[in-house]
Structure formats: C-alpha cells, structure tokens
Amino acid sequence: MKNLKSTLDRIDNKGYGAYKDLQGTYEFGDFTLYVDKVQRDPFAPPSLIRVRTHDNGFDRALYENLVRRFAFEDFLTRQAEQEIKRAVQGNRGSGKSGRVEIQRPSQVIVPRTSCVVDESGVEARMAVGLPAKGRTVDGRAAREVLLDELPEIVHSALIHQGIDTEKALEHVQTVEDAEHLRGRLAELGLVAFVVDGAILPRESGASDRPMKSGAKPFATPEEYRVEVNLPNRGAVTGMGIPEGVTLIVGGGFHGKSTLLSALSWGVYDHLPGDGRELVVTREDAVKIRAEDGRSVAGVDISGSIGGLPGGGSTEDFSTTNASGSTSQAANIAEALEVGTSLFLVDEDTSATNFMIRDERMRELIQREPISPFIDVVAPLHRDLGVSTIVVVGGVGDYLDVADHVILLEDYAATDATGRAGEVTEEFPPRAPIGGAGISNPRDRSLEPGSIDLRRGKKETSRGKGLSTVELGRESVDLTYLEQLAEGGQTEAIARIIGEFAKSKNGQSAREVAEEALADVEKNGLDSLGPFKGHPGEMSQPRPQEVAAAINRIRSLKATTV
Ligand code: ADP
Ligand code: MG
C-alpha cells in the first residue's frame, strides 16, 4: 500500500504513460490488489485490476457445491456492482477517469470470470479508469479511487462481514432448486415447467426485468398440474408441458409470445425476484426463427427442403443469403447437429411458407421443395425424440398434429386439447399432412483454415457487446440468437472460435463446442483467457450458442461427411 502511495506521488502530473509503473502487486492488509494491465490513455478501455481477499469467512453452505458456488459468485458480482454505484464518485477527469466497473450480469445466473470463490478467499476482477487531467496523471484522484473507494467496495461487498448471509443463501437456494427442477424434467416426461404464481411479462421489449405492476401471475390449468419436491422450497405446483407437440394458441395480445419467451429463457437460472425462478425448460432447448440474409455453410437441410430447382441437392446446402424459410430450415438442421430435445417456434418470427402450405397451394404447386414445418413437427418427435412447443394464432391446421393444446385468454392458460379435437372433427383436415419420416442431418466437418483472424498485423477474435463476434475483419452477427443472454457469453464464444481457427483439424460444430466447454468445466472459464492475471469479462455459453455463432461465420467452409 505504501508502495502504491509513493508511486502515485512520484508519477503525479507526469504524462499518462507513467501509469505503466503501477503494474504490480500491492498488499492492503486484508486483501491484495493486482494491477494487471494499465490502459494507454484516459480514453482507452479501462485498466484491468483484481482484488483478492485473504480469508473466506463465508458460511460454507454458500459455496459447498459447484451449483451453489457459481450462484454465490453471481451474488457477489451483483453485490460489488451495487457497492460500486454507492461508493464510487465516478467521473474524475478526462475520458474514463475515475470509473470502476465489474462485469454486468443479466437476469440470468451463469458462471462468470468476474468473481471466484475458493477456500482461501474471494477474487474479484474489475476495471478502473485511472484518472487524468487532460492527458497527465492525476495522482490525487487515483489515490482516492485506489486507496479509499476500492477498499470500501471490498469491505462491503466481498468479505463476509459486509454481506447479508440470509439473502445470499436465498440466492444460492433459488438456483439450486431451479437446477434440480430442470434436472428432473426428462424423468417426469416433461419438456418444461411453469410454477404457479410465476411472473412472465417483462418491463419492456428492451428490458428483461419483470413487469413492475399489473402482471397477472401464472395459474396452472388442472390438466397440466404437476407437483415437484424441491430441495429448498419443498413442494411446488405448476404446469408441466409433456413431451410431444404442444400448441400455444390464443388471440393477439393474450400472452402467447410472452409465455414462449419465458420458456426459451428457462434454459437458464434466474435471480430471486425475477418472476421466472421456477420456469424451467430442457437445458438444450432451441428457439427457432426465421433469419433471412444469414449465410449457411454446407448444411444438410434435406429434412425439410427436398431437391432444388435445377436438381441441386440440399444435403450439402450453402448460401450467402438465405431466405426466411431456408434460414429457418438451416437453424433446425444445425440445432439437430449440436443436439437438442426441444424446439420452440413462434409464428410471429417464422416464415409463413416454412410453417404451412394450405390445400390450394398443395394443389396448385406440385414442385415445392419445402416441406412445411407442419409436416415435419410430428416426425421430429416420433423419429428423433425432439419435442416442439409452437405458438400459433392464425393456422388451425396445426391442430391436426398437436398432442396438446394450451389456450391463452387474458394471460390465463386453459387446456384446449379436447375442444381442439372437436374442432378438427367438425372441420376435417383438407390438406394431406406429410407422413414421411425424418432422419438426423449428415455430419459436417468445419475447416478451421476458412476462418481468417488476421486484422492488420494482429490476429483477433473478440466479442463486441451482446450480438457481435469480431474475427479478423469479419463481424459475425448474432442478433437473432434469442437465447444468448449476455456479452460475457459472446466474449467466451469469440475466444473458443479463435482457438478453433488456429487448430489444424476439421471438426463438427458439436465437437468444437463440446470440447471447448468440457475444457471450461475442467479448468474454469479463466482458461479461455489470453494472459495471466485478469482473464477479461466472460460468461459461460451453451454449446447451442457456440455452434450457432460458428455457423454464422460468412467465410466458413464445411464439407459433409
Ligand atoms: P401475443 O403473443 O399473444 O400476441 P404477447 O405475449 O406479445 O401476446 O403479450 C401482449 C402484451 O401483454 C405484452 O405487452 C405483454 O407484456 C403483456 N402480457 C403478457 N403476459 C402478461 C401477464 N401475465 N400479465 C400482464 N401482462 C402480460
Ligand atoms: Mg405473439
């Protein structure tokens, strides 16, 4: 600490580059400060620091197993974020002067690099804008940030005297219950569960937080009632959605998309107060949507699209500009490649000719290569064991292929399976529903050499916000990956792709994703980091999003095997 003071005194008023001398390790008594990487100027990305406390006085119940530990690390990250808001003055000069940051968590709880708890203490990874007046070192302001504000954050957010143990316990128990529930879905024959009383609607289209007032809590229709015993909360009841094909129907604005979206986020755990703590879905569920304009590299989409005009095969299909329906077919084939047990489809974000072809068009158009999803959805379950939950308001033909129908009216769910049966008898199907089987798409081998990381003299693979991965000069657009939760996942994905690009051997997207994530499981997310010390801001992605990002690289080349 004395060293830090004297260095700051010495470099005060010097050119900003003098801050480089801060790099190093400082002892603060009850924690150690590591200054890992000093920014070049006040406007550059802030300097990277870590703080490590010297003992772990926390209740062992908060971190005694991996699930609890990750949840507790999430709790501490959020706690630190709050303390930063409270204790840090912030703006102290030019550029990012005086800012203190920790990775910003979304509404979901995933393992992150922001905070690590072990037997010997807690390590938090942060960033600090070292203060400057213009482009000269402001030593006094730096002393206030590093010697006053930083210890305050450590004392009130990262050591056991500072935190509310009850609240932390609720946090880890909530996550443990959700994990338990998700883990039991398969044995219960379910693909999803929505607890009674869940709050599904969100604050706005731009915010994933719960609606503030006027939300109607979820109530389970009798026919779908399931009771599950959870390790912490005990018995809970809710709607169990069984395997098979389930329709969510209802008029416009009655809450269909809101329910489906909550289900699509049910692959993750949520923090207490989110409203969706016990809304869980199979962990490998994939939301499928149209995404016209995306590129596709050598994917076997023959399951939903037959021969192309001119005799082109769809077992090895590439395009730089997919249409709505082909993009949706590619999304399905790619999700099957990486592995999934549940598709979620919303008609709002689907291509009409992907969803359906009516009687007249079946009559008029004989040479239609696209098998609409309505022909594919039942075989997907029968032949491949993949269930689907599909939102429809306008296409009654889906009643013919549904095992279950859930009706939403004024946000209230009822079972309409029986009534749907009556309706289909009254109005029998006019168009034949395709009866053909479906098989898994053929495997592809991706060529690492087709991904060019060069950007000037450097090689780069990094995340930029939530929706972009920068690989060399290419920006990969992830806007339509609706189950990508936070920028830290994008960063982790970028680094996984970077490693693959430098490898020599072709692999399937599934292999790339699974091998990288197996490594992460063994060595932690830190192992994706580029240098010793601060690993950067990363969050754990799912294999589904890793593969989906790779599949959207425009330069990607692949061969079907
Ligand atoms: P649909 O897909 O059936 O057209 P949406 O899911 O888009 O309907 O919902 C329409 C509106 O109703 C949205 O603004 C949503 O936030 C709101 N909403 C959905 N579910 C609820 C609920 N349970 N309580 C209150 N408002 C809700
Ligand atoms: Mg909708």
Residues 6+ apart with CB under 8 A from 341: 186, 191, 282, 284, 285, 385, 386, 387
Q: Does the structure show a pLDDT above 80 at 431? A: no
Ligand 1: which residue has its CA nearest to atom 11? 253
Amino acid identity, position 522: K
Tokens of 561: 């095997």
Average pLDDT, the chain: 95
Q: How confident is the model at residue 435 (pLDDT cuts 50, 70, 90)?
A: low
Q: Is the CB of 257 under 6 A from ligand 1?
A: yes
Confidence at residue 77, expressed as pLDDT on a 0 to 100 scale: 98
What is the average pLDDT across 324-334? 95
Q: Which of 258, 264, 390, 406 to mutate to test the pocket of ligand 1 (most atoms within 8 A of CB)?
A: 258
Which of 274-283, 307-316, 474-483, 507-516 is predicted with the least confidence, judged by mean pLDDT?
Answer: 307-316
Phi, psi of 553, deg, nearest 5: -70, 125
Q: Is the CB of 216 under 6 A from ligand 1?
A: yes
Tokens of 442: 């053929």
Token pair 């986020």 in the structure block, residue = 265
Q: Is the CB of 210 under 6 A from ligand 1?
A: no
Confidence at residue 395, expressed as pLDDT on a 0 to 100 scale: 84
What is the average pLDDT across 100-110? 97
What is the average pLDDT across 185-209? 97
> Cα(386)–Cα(202) distance, rounded to whole angstroms?
29
Percent pLDDT > 90 in the chain is 88
Q: Is the CB of 197 under 6 A from ligand 1?
A: no
What stretches of 214-347 adopt beta strand conformation (E)? 225-230, 234-242, 245-249, 269-270, 279-281, 286-288, 296-299, 317-319, 342-346
Residues 6+ apart with CB under 8 A from 454: 472, 473
**Ligand 1 atom at shortest distance from the alpha carbon of 260:** 6
Helices of type H across 396-508 = 417-426, 487-502
**Ligand 1 atom at shortest distance from the alpha carbon of 200:** 23
pLDDT (tens digit, 9 = 90+) per residue, 221-261? 999 999 999 999 999 999 999 999 999 999 999 999 999 99
Distance in Å, CA 351 to ligand 2 centroid: 14
Confidence at residue 314, expressed as pLDDT on a 0 to 100 scale: 87
Confidence at residue 429, expressed as pLDDT on a 0 to 100 scale: 77
Amino acid identity, position 134: G
Q: Is the CB of 427 under 6 A from ligand 1?
A: no
pTM score: 0.96
> Cα(487)–Cα(529) distance, rounded to whole angstroms?
15
Q: Is the CB of 261 under 6 A from ligand 1?
A: no
Token pair 């006085």 in the structure block, residue = 57
pLDDT (tens digit, 9 = 90+) per residue, 250-266? 999 999 999 999 999 99
> What angle do helix axes 543-551 and 509-523 make, rounded to 10 degrees?
140
pLDDT (tens digit, 9 = 90+) per residue, 459-511? 999 999 999 999 999 999 999 999 999 999 999 999 999 999 999 999 999 99
Q: Does the structure show a pLDDT above 80 at 310? A: no
Pairing of strands 404-409, 412-415: antiparallel
Of residues 236 and 434, which shows the higher confidence score?
236
Ligand 1: which residue has its CA nearest to atom 16? 201
**Ligand 1 atom at shortest distance from the alpha carbon of 391:** 2
Q: Is the CB of 253 under 6 A from ligand 1?
A: yes
